[in-house]
Structure formats: structure tokens, C-alpha cells
Amino acid sequence: MSSYSSAYLSTRLSIFASNLLGIHRLMDLLGLDLQTILKRVNQFTGHDYRIDDTDSHYLENQLASSALNDFQPIIRPFSGNERLFFYYTIRWFELVNLKVLIRGKFTRADNSVIQQQLVDLGDFAELPLKKLLETEDPHEMLRLLETTAYAGIVRQARNVYEEHGNDLFLLDATIDRSFFINLKKRLLRLDNQDASEVNQVMGVLLDRFNLLWLLRYRFSYHLSSAKSYFLLTASGKNLHSATLMRLAKLETIDEVLAALPDSLGANLSGLKTISDIEMVLEYSTLAIASKVLKHNNLVSRCFAYIILREAETRFLQALIKGKQLAFDDKLIRQALVGTI
Amino acid sequence: MLSKPVEMKKVSLVMVDTDAQRAAMTLARMTVLHPLEDQQNSLQMAEFPAASFHDVYHSLKSRFTKINEYLTEPFNAPLDLTTLITLDQLQQMDEQIKDLWVIVSKVEEQLRKQYEKAIVTRQLSNSLQKFVSLDLDLSRLKRSSRFLKIIVGTVPDANFNQLKRALSLVEFMINPFYSGNGLQHVVIMGSSQQQLDVHELLKTADFRELEIPEEFSGNPAELKQNLDNQLSQSQNRIDELQKKLSVLLKDIGPTLQRSHELLVLSEPYAALSTVLKGHGGLVSMLGWVTASSEQQINDELKKYLQYPFYIKFLSPELSELDSVPSLIKHGWILKPFQHLVSNFGIPNYAEVDPTVLFSLSYILMFGMMFGDIGHGIVIATGSLLLAKKYRSFSIVGFLLGLSSVSFGFVYGSLFGYENIIQPLWMSPMHDPTLVLLVALGWGALFLIISNLLAIRNYLTVGLKQQAFYSGKGIAGLLFYLAALFAAYQLMVNKQFGLQEIIYLLAPLSFIMRFQWKQSTAGLFERILVVFIETLELIISTVSSTLSFLRVAAFSLNHIALAAAVFSIASMMDMTGHWVTVVLGNIFIIVLEGAIVAIQCLRLEYYEGFSRFFSGKGKAFKPLKLDI
């Protein structure tokens, strides 16, 4: 990247970073009504988010589109493996569409209901959403999906549809797992210095994914230790293969927490529920991403910004949906765990 | 020389709702209407009478398209283009096609399963191949003991390592004995007590087991025979299904033909679903039509509509100019150049269409940069030979070739030889300075014309301030002329005094004042913006003119390349000499020819179009029948 592009990107990132709401401001929005939330968000971020009374998903789509629009200029200066890495990272947004689509088709939901939940990804879209929506049944949808960049998850999806029926969590996990494995592969193609800096955030993300899904598989869905371990993704910062294998064999959440490496377990000791653990892990991921965003390395700063902005977008989307459906603040607070 | 998009009028049509489809069909047959959504709802009509028609049409079209992909023969039965289609007809056909697609899709799914089965069987057969030489009794593997479970099969490479570690958690071993085609062929062994967990795990890991039939008690060669039989059964089943599919498609041919007719005939009305607005039995619509078709539209609607209608044609207002579509019409010679212009953008309705100017200057510049009689003849002849296959390319190539021939006479150059033909003017090599000055003069003329066109475009859309005071307006033009004068004085008369400074600063001060007024930022930012934009104007004035030096540079380069070829050829014997000359000339024609063509395009786009041409117009897309 030329020095002009570096200076441009650095300035862009600084401006975008200063517009991020941050976890504390986001939490402060919880008790407010929808109009005040919008006013505050617009005031701070400089965006012009609006409510459309005729379309309840309008605002959610606006938030996602705005994030994707902001990703365009920060990815553009990159080329080669770096650009591919970021394009793949942004696919995370598309996984939401993919899950909505598969769930919708498997449960035979009406196309208009599925469509409302889909986010317009513009130039970043890989899925032929219109064609997929127009399929008559899950088999046809899966055949079409097999021709896309997501062909890798089709076999698992067929298994789920034909054999497991309602085990859609398994499919969600497979989609996420495949995403992280491929993202890690692309990370390894980056320049050594870049890869190591990006790994500061990605390592924590992978630890979070692995630990949470391990707990869910073992203690919520009661899968065997072998299958639980198999469904985990690439090694992260603290949880390597051997550690994960050891953890998979344990029988209670307390045992798992006690067996975690100190660097990870210190914050989690004493927690009893998976949602509490999830919240702490998410806070720490965002804290690390915020720290990295202030560093010098542009690749890692961009990655950190994407992680933070994506978390902020999903948090706001969940908050707004909760407010639109007039849910109790306590319920919204519970639902928000897992969105950031 | 300067053309404009075809003159348009805004049409407003109000009619009885039962006539709406007739009107859509009539206008589609005429291909004269560019539909326009009424954003302001000027006639207070809130309903969209064609909306449900459009939904059913879209559903039918989507299903029909899916089945149509299986067909090879196009539908070409004649259609009665006056037939009206009802919503009921569309709905019935949609249901029919839906049922048919479900049947086709089921066969397709069965086919997919058979293909998958065949692939897996083939993989297992390959896997078994590795055992054949061992003469092992594989029935032993089937008869797993009370304590030991043995499984043979394949697992994708990507899952192998993770599976190996996961199996170790249930104290199972996995050993690969062969790998290929993205698969690991493995033997898995472990305690029978854990087999349920392992079975689930293996399914998740996409493991394909080599199943040994219950009755089987033979060696690998016999099992291989068994798998081959399975494979042949799969192939037979695939053949059966394909036959079934083709018979099915043949049987439903008449229904598909009827469906195609319905789709063609209902498309115009469905396409107007967001344009047609109605209330109380009346329907209105807006659109853009060519001014020349006004009378014809009136006549045709009178002929085909059953009830009286109200139609009004209005010239576009100044505020509407951005939304008027542009219809560009050129003859066959200019058509290929029009494509090159539209690569940059479509002219806005109010803008000058630069196609003619572009074509002339492009051909001229190419000749100036690549002037050679021989090379020009080769390009022109080559283009003619390709005329049948690449018509557009051949027209451009032929004209460029002619230009090259003309300038070849001017330069006296034939296949790089400068002394065979007497030049009409001179070879660029003899007086490079003069050639550079001519190129600069050409560049200055080119930029002045561009500036004049920008001023004209500003005035047409009512942007008088920009036309007078902006950097691309009259002030910008005066500044450019002053800069040329100052450069002339400095270079020729060696003087640069107060007079030149005043000439330069006077228009510049207007431009700066204009920029100051345009900016709404704070004081410091305003100063910064005006300073940077003025600096940018000065730099671009100089750099754009100098950019045309490449016209001269390439004409010199052309001769230099030829000289290089001749100098290499002179070191060879007779045969080598001529081989080098021929190959060298081919090299010059292909490589330098392509580079010059691109450089000319670059000059047109960046030095010309970016000054006066927004390219933000909307193409005229008429309502038409998809026959």
C-alpha cells in the first residue's frame, strides 16, 4: 500500500473509530424509548437513521447497509490477500442471511416473512437471494445453494433436514465453524506481522466461539464429548486443541471453568450460566478490539473496526427490534447478550 | 458535429381501468414509452391496479424460467399481440406450472441422489482397490467382535485431523491407508461399547462407510464386483430418470408453450405495476416518449382503447432534466464509437452527446500517433476480414487503419521505412520539437473545445453561476487562454510581466470568489478549500495540456521502434533480416497499436469527458414485448 493510501486509511479509521458508540454508551441506551435511542445514535454517529412505519425491518437494514458502506472505503486501499481476507470477514454479515434463509425454508415460512429478515449486502453479497427465495422446497434450495460459495455446508444442511429435523443449532454451528476455519486460513496467508497483530483479536474471538459452543454442546444439547470437540473450530489464543480436548471430557460447567487456562479463567470463575459467561467473554473481546483499533498496524486496526462495528450493528438491531415489539427492558437486556 | 439526445416529451395518460392492459400492450408494440413512476402522486390516485397481476406474473415467470432451463428448443409459435390476459388465466397457469415444477424438481432431486450415490460408490471402490492385492477376508471386518469395532471408509481431508483427535476422546484409532481426490481412505478401530457415539460423530464428519453386505463372505475382489454392480445400478437408474425427465418435458410441451404465450402477452401490463395508479375505475400513468411519436401514440391509442382517454404531452421542465432518459441515435458508422462513449457514461438529456466529436478526435489522434501506410493497411484489412464476426470492432479498426494510412503519407512512413515514400509534410524524427509543439497545440484546442462544451452544458441546465465563474466555465476558459498567452510570451518573447499576471489573476479571482461562495464550511476550512481547489485548477491546467505531449511522443516512439527492428535486422543474414523485419512489424502493429488505442481513449476520457461530460444520464428503456 502506498504511503498516500496508508495516510488516507489511517485517517478514515480514526474518524470511523471516533463514531463508534462503545459498549458503555450502548448499554446506556437500554432504558430509553425508540425515538430517543435514534436521536442519540444519530447525534453521536452522524448518521441519519429513520423509522419507516410501513416496514419494521427498514431501520435494521439501514444499520447494516450503513456499516457495509463504511467498510467499502476502508477495504478499498488493500489489495491481494489482505483484501481477500477482509472480504471474507465481511461474509459474517451474509451468514445471518444464510441462516435466516435456511431456517425459513426448512420451517416452510412464507417468502415474504423470510424476505423481511434478510439484509441487503449490496456489492458484498455472494448469495443469489432472490433465486433462493423463489425455490419451492428445501431440496431445491439446497441444490441451488450447492452452486454458491456456501456449497461446503450443504451436505450438513441436508443431514439436518433429512435426519435431525429440528436440530438447526447444529447447522448454525456448522456454518459458523466453517466460516472461522476459512477465515483462519486466510489469516495465515497475510504477511507475518499483519497475521500476528490480527490474531490478537481473532484469537480471542475463536476462544469465545469455542468455549461457548463447547458449553452449549455439552451441557445444553448434551452431545458426546467427541462430537462436541469435533464441532469446534480452529484454535484460538488460549484454547488450543489439547486444552479443548481436555475440556470436552469434563462433566460440569464448573469443572470446565476451573480447568481453563488462567488468562481466560480468571474473569470467568464463579459464573454459573452460559449467558453470564458469554457476556463476560464478549466484553473482553470488544475491549481487546478497541485496544487494537488504536494501534499502528492498519490491517489489524481495520479488522478490529469491522468486529466492533459489526457488534454495534447487531446490538442496535436487537435493541430496536425489542423496542419495536414493546418488550420489557429486562427481556431486551437478556436478549442482547449474544449480540455483541 | 454536436448532437443531442433525441427530444423527449412527458406523457400523462388517464383512462378507464379496463383499458389499462390494452394501453400497455399498444405502447409496448410501439416501443416508444419509457415508464415513469409518479413520485408526487399528482393525480391523487393511491391504488396500484396492476400490483396483484405483477405478483402472479412474477411467480409464473420464475417457475417457467426454471423449467425452461431444461429445454433446448426456443418457443417460436406466432402470437396474437392483441390478446388480453386475465388475472385468472395467469393464476391458473401459475398453479399448473407450479405442480409441473414440483414433479420436475423431484426427478432432479432423485437424479442428484443417484449421482451422489454413484460418486460415493466409486470412491469406496477405489478405496477397496487398495485391499485387492491382500486377498483378505473382508467379512471379518463386518463381523466386529463384542469388544472391537472396525470400520472402513472415507473422510474428507479437511475433517481428518479434527476427527482423529475427536476419536481419540472415545479411545478409537483412525489410520489412513490411502489419500486422493480430497479424501482420506481410513480404517477406524475401537471399543464396541462406544460405537453409538462414534456413529454420530462419523456422520457429522461426513464419513462414508464401506458397507459390507450381510451375505458377503468373500475377498476384496468379490466385494469390488459387488460395488461395481451397485455402480452400474446407479447408472441405470440415472439413465431411467433422465429418460423420464425428457418424456415429462415432452408431455408438458403444449402447457409450456401456452405459459410462454401468457408471459409474453402479460409482460407489458405487469411491467407497469408501479407506474399505473388508479382510483374509482380510472387509471393514470406517466412516461417519457420521443417528441416525434406524439401523433402516432395518439392515433394508436384511439384505435385500440375501447373507451375515451385523456392524454397530455409536455416538454420537460428545467427541474426535470435530470430524470429525462436519453435516447441516442447514430448511424452504423458511429454506433461502435457510441459504445465506447457509453463505457464512460450515458449523456444526460441536457448534455451534448460527444459521440461525433469523440469519433473524429479519436481517429485523428490514433493516426497522429501511429502514422504508417503499411501498418494502417494491415489494420484496415485485418478489420475488414473480421467484419463478419466482430462488426463493431471492425468498423473502428478500419477507420483507425485509414487514419494511420493518411498520416503515413503525411510522415512518409511505410512499414517503418522512412525513405521509400516522399512525406507530404515530414517524418516526426526530423523535427521532434515541431511535432511536440503541434501536439501541444492540438491539446490546447482539444481542452478549449471541452471547456466550451462544459459552458454550454451548464447554461442548458440553468447553472449560470457555474457557466460564468467556475473553473470549467467562462472564467476557467479565460484563465486557460491567459495561461497559454503567458506561456507563449515567456517561451517566444522571453517576457513575463504585469500584463500576463493581470491576465492570469483576473479570471482566477472570479473562480476563487465562486469557490468561496460555494463552500459552506467554517472560515479556516473555507480558506483551505479555496486554496487547494485553486492550486488544483492551476496544476491540472498545466498537466492536462502537457498530457497531450504523448501524441507526439508516440509518433516518435513508432519510428524509434521501427529503427530498433531495422538495427537488429541489419545484424542478420538475408533470411534473418526479413524474418526480423516481418516479426518486428507484427510486434509494432499488435503491441504499439494496442497501446496507442488505449492512450487515445485515456486522453478522451480523462482530459476531455471529465471536463464537460457527466455521463450520469439514464438510458431510454422503452416498454416492449419480449418476443
Give residue-wise pLDDT tens across range B52-103: 999 999 999 999 999 998 888 888 777 788 888 999 999 999 999 999 999 9
**Domain around A240:** 3-336
Nearest to A245 among B66, B112, B165 (CB): B165
One domain for residues B436 and B523: yes
User: pLDDT higher for A4 or B100?
Assistant: B100
One domain for residues B607 and B525: yes
Would you say residue B179 has pLDDT above 50?
yes
One domain for residues B411 and B449: yes
One domain for residues B55 and B186: no
What pairs with residue B183 in β-bridges?
B156, B180
Chain A residues near any Cβ of chain B (below 8 Å) = 134, 136-137, 139-140, 143, 155-156, 159, 170, 181, 223-227, 229-232, 241, 245, 248-249
Does residue B201 fall inside a structural domain? Answer: yes
Cα R_g (chain A), whole angstroms? 20
Give residue-wise pLDDT tens across range A25-47: 888 888 788 888 888 888 888 78
Of the candidates A194, A251, A136, the one whose C-alpha atom is nearest the C-alpha of residue B106 is: A136
Provide the residue type at A73 as one letter: P
How many angstroms separate the CA of residue A291 from the nearest CA in chain B? 31
Per residue, what are the HEC states of B349-377?
CCCCECHHHHHHHHHHHHHHHCCCHHHHH
Chain B residues near any Cβ of chain A (below 8 Å) = 62-63, 66, 98, 101-102, 105, 108-109, 112, 158-159, 162-163, 165-170, 197-198, 200-201, 203-206
Distance (Å, rounded) from C-alpha B130 to C-alpha B133?
A: 7
Does residue B326 fall inside a structural domain? Answer: no
Distance (Å, rounded) from C-alpha B527 to C-alpha B522?
A: 9
At A318 the pLDDT is 84
One domain for residues B196 and B94: no
- Total domain count for chain A? 1
At B485 the pLDDT is 95
One domain for residues B75 and B19: no
**Domain around B263:** 51-125+228-271
Q: What does pLDDT average to over chain B? A: 89
How many angstroms separate the CA of residue A231 from the nearest CA in chain B? 8
- Total domain count for chain B? 4
* Chain center to CA of B130: 51
One domain for residues B256 and B400: no
Least confident range of A218-232, B214-228, B267-281, B576-590: B214-228
One domain for residues B352 and B408: yes
CATH of the domain at B296: 3.30.70.120
CATH of the domain at B205: 3.30.70.2750
Alpha helices in chain A (DSSP H): 3-18, 22-28, 34-45, 58-75, 80-106, 111-117, 129-133, 138-145, 154-159, 168-188, 192-215, 225-230, 241-248, 253-259, 262-265, 274-293, 298-324, 329-336
At A135 the pLDDT is 92
**In chain B, which residues have their Cβ closer than 8 Å to the Cβ of A140?**
105, 108-109
One domain for residues B462 and B603: yes
Nearest to B166 among A137, A140, A229 (CB): A229
Would you say residue B106 has pLDDT above 60?
yes
Mean of pLDDT values over A242-255: 92
Q: Which of residues B186, B211, B236 is at a domain's end?
A: B211
One domain for residues B249 and B201: no
Give residue-wise pLDDT tens across range B363-417: 999 999 999 999 999 999 999 999 988 988 999 999 999 999 999 999 999 999 9
One domain for residues B32 and B64: no
> Is A308 within 8 Å of A290 (Cβ atoms)?
yes
Distance (Å, rounded) from C-alpha B106 to C-alpha B248?
A: 12
For testing the chain A interface, which of B61, B105, B204 should be mutated: the one with the most A CBs within 10 Å? B204
User: pLDDT higher for A221 or B215?
Assistant: A221
Nearest to B197 among A136, A143, A227 (CB): A227
| pTM of the model as a whole | 0.77
**In chain A, which residues have their Cβ closer than 8 Å to the Cβ of B158?**
181
One domain for residues B177 and B232: no
